Amino acid sequence: MTKSRAWIAMVVVGSALSTARAVDPPSTLNYQGVLRDAADKPQAGIYAMVFRFFDAASGGAEILVDTHSGGNAISVINGVFNVALGSGSVADG
């Protein structure tokens, strides 16, 4: 490789690296679920829900609680609900 080609390659790689930067994670995460009763019948209405996050699948420590109640309760239609996790009343676990 000639010196000029090597120089061009270094400039291109340097330019690509200088534009790469860290991006902040989103403040909310969309979650869709299904709510059914004990007889497996889909529910409908407005429900208060609490989402708890743990640092392990089993036996872990609770790290975050996201509560959706009152004016921030969740609408359920034919059993299906959609919620932006992180948009409720969020507290450390």
Domain count across the chain: 1
**Domain with 59 in it:** 25-92
pTM score: 0.71
Kindly give the pairing relationship between strand 29-34 and strand 80-85: antiparallel
Whole-number pLDDT of residue 22? 83
Q: Please tell me the predicted confidence (pLDDT) of residue 10.
A: 56
Q: Cα dihedral angle (23, 28, 29, 31), rounded to 10 degrees?
A: -170
Each residue's pLDDT tens digit in the chain (93 positions)? 565 555 555 555 555 555 667 889 899 999 999 999 999 999 999 999 999 999 999 999 999 999 999 999 999 999 999 999 999 999 997
Nearest residue to 74 (alpha-carbon basis) of 37, 32, 40, 28:
32
* Residue 61 belongs to some domain of the structure: yes
